[in-house]
Structure formats: structure tokens, C-alpha cells
Amino acid sequence: MIEVVKKLIASKTKLDAIIIETTGLADPAPVCQTFFVDPDVEKYARLDAVVTVVDAKHIAQHLDEVKPEGVENEAVEQVAFADRILLNKCDLVSEEELVALESRLKSMNHVAHIIRTQLNASSLPLDKIMGLNAFSLDRVLAVDSEFLEESHGHHHESSVGSVGFSFQGDMNLTLLEDWIMDLLQLKGNDLYRYKGILAIKGMSKKYVFQGVHMTFDGMYTTEWKPSEVRINRFVFIGKNLDRDELKKDFMECLVTEEPRFPIGSKVVCLVQENWIDGTVQSHWEEGNPYRVILENGTEHWIFDDDDCYIRQAFPIKRKPSPCQDQGESRPAKQFFVTD
């Protein structure tokens, strides 16, 4: 698929859309990840939506199928990855069965919109499945402002489910990055889809991110309006999700304390393995707790209010070693994680 898209790029062909139809047994993850990890494809095209057709008459047996250890259930994965679910063959089952099936699908993926269709009359307007920009949370929230709210609930009807929650406050970007990096490394294979809109302390724009397994992508988008409440919204779709644990870890990234050193404080900062004197000039610029003017006149941003990077100035010219209290240096940050 990557080679075909790159040939289209080289040919300078102007297209409105590319429709990728996988096999019935396909794992959706690698297809989705292509639009995040290959720079040429990412620059040329964006992933608009994942549409899954569900056979209302026979889907239950596929969802219930027990696979050998280590083998994923393709039907479950395809439902979990979907932005739109076309529930087909509705004319072959009863209304009671349809309601129960829709409830089950929602328990697995509560953010996918379900559209009923029939075996011999399954046509529907293209705008129901194309041009959705379903990966744009701003657009989704404009249509359904509560789709990430806690009221949607969390069901454990199967091992695959969805968790959505929201709360007010500003996030500490460094703590958030560290947590997400750890989460993807530990549980990336169990996270089918995740997306969110966040308020980052010191940033006027919304931080929107999404991911597939261990492939993560995020960017700043529209401005927070002056009258708009800065609410963080997040949804996970995956296997064996612990809602309470996810929410607890997420809320631990909230900014709850002011920076330790007031503006005007004399400090020493770690700059390329050297400790240099400076003066705190401001707090929370561009998501960083400190902007410091160093003794050589240059600006330096401190991304973490930690003794590993900034300390109170010593009365004598003695510079501490990095993280000497912890006994070891902290590792360099690496946020973008891929398979």
C-alpha cells in the first residue's frame, strides 16, 4: 500500500480520496499506522475514517470465537478500530436482536457511529462514510459534545471495551509525555485506538492526539476561546482496560502546584551537561514551567521543575552534578514511539 501511494505522489495525480478495502481477515492496525509513521504518506494524505461492515445475522459467532493463544480475533479488532459501523442484513434479524447487538457493539467501541443497512438495499449517501474527518476530535465534538464524557460508561461484556472520561484543568506536558510513553511501552499492543483533546499549561491552543497501538501522533490545533472551559477529554479503545487506573494516572498529570522558584529567583540550570547561573524570567511559556535568562544572556527553557534541571543558586561557585540526589542521571526524553 505504501508503494502504491508513493507512486500516486510521484505521478502528481490529483485525487479527492483513496478508498482502501482490506480482506475480511485483515488487522486494521498496520493500515492505520501507515498514515502516521511513513513521512511521505503522512504529508500526502490523512486518514479520514475506518468503516467496518458488520453482518448482523452472523457476527455473534465471530465475536465469540475462541482463538489460539497469541492469535487476535479479527472481528473484534475490526469493530474496535471502526469510526463508522455499517450494521448490514438488518432485515434478517429481529428488532430485539438488533438492539442487543448494537448494545454489544457499543460496549466494545462507544465512539463509533452505527448505521443500519439491509441485505438487498444497503445503499446510503457517501457523506455517511466519506469526508468524515473522523480523526478530528474538534469536528466530532462539534456534532456530539458529550461523546467522550463519563456518562457513556464502560462495559466489560468482553475483554475489549472503551473508556471515556473528561475533567477540567491544565496538564503538565512533561508528566503527560512520560506517562503516555510508559503506557505505550507497557500496554501498546492492547490499545487499539485512543484519542483526546487536552489543555496544556502555558499553551493557548488545544493539543489533539490520537494513536494506534504504539504509534502516537499529536499536534496543537485551534485556540481555546476566552469563554471556553479548558476541559480535557480522552477515550481509549482496547483490551482489558482498567478505567480507574487510567483515570488516576491521567489526573496525576494535572498541574496542581505553582513552580518552586518565583520570577526573579537566582537559579542554576543544566545546559548541555553544564550547570550555568541564571534568573527566572517567566512561568509556563510554551508548556514549560520556567524561562530562564542565563548569565551569558541567552534564554533557556526548563521543561521539568525538577532538581535534575533547575536548582536554587549556590552562594559560592560550586555546581552540582546532574541528579546527584537521585544517584543517577535521568534518561533523555523520547516521546514519539512506534512499532
Which residues of 147-214 form beta strands (DSSP E)?
160-168, 191-198, 205-212
**Any idea where the domains of the chain sit in the sequence?**
2-134, 150-251, 257-328
Instruction: Report residue 320's pLDDT band, with 50, 70 and 90 as the boundaries.
Output: low
**Sign of the CA dihedral running 279, 282, 284, 285:** negative
Question: What pLDDT does residue 315 have?
Answer: 65
Torsion angle, alpha carbons of 304, 308, 312, 317, to 10: -140
Average pLDDT along the chain: 81
Top mean-pLDDT range of 63-67, 117-121, 225-229, 313-317: 225-229
Q: Using 50, 70 and 90 to split pLDDT, how confident is the model at 158?
A: low
Residue 142 has pLDDT above 80, yes or no: no
Q: What's the topology of domain 257-328?
A: SH3 type barrels. (2.30.30)
Edge-first strand listing for the sheet containing 51-55: 51-55, 84-88, 113-116
DSSP 184: H
pLDDT of the residue at 121: 65
| More confident: 191 or 155 | 191
In this predicted model, what pLDDT tens digit does every residue of 42-92 receive, in sequence order? 888 888 888 999 999 888 888 888 777 767 788 888 888 888 999 998 988
Domains 2-134 and 150-251 share a fold: no
Please give the residue that has the higher pLDDT: either 292 or 25.
292
pLDDT in tens, 236-279: 888 888 888 988 998 899 998 899 999 999 999 999 888 999 99
CATH fold label, 150-251 = Hypothetical Protein Yjia; Chain: A;domain 2 (3.30.1220)
Q: At the topology level of CATH, where does 2-134 sit? A: Rossmann fold (3.40.50)
The residue that leads in pLDDT, 153 or 326, is: 326
Identity at 82, one-letter amino acid code? A
pLDDT at 339: 42
Using CB atoms within 10 A of its CB, is residue 317 exposed (0-12), middle (13-18) or buried (19+)?
exposed
Cβ-contact 80, 193 below 8 angstroms: yes
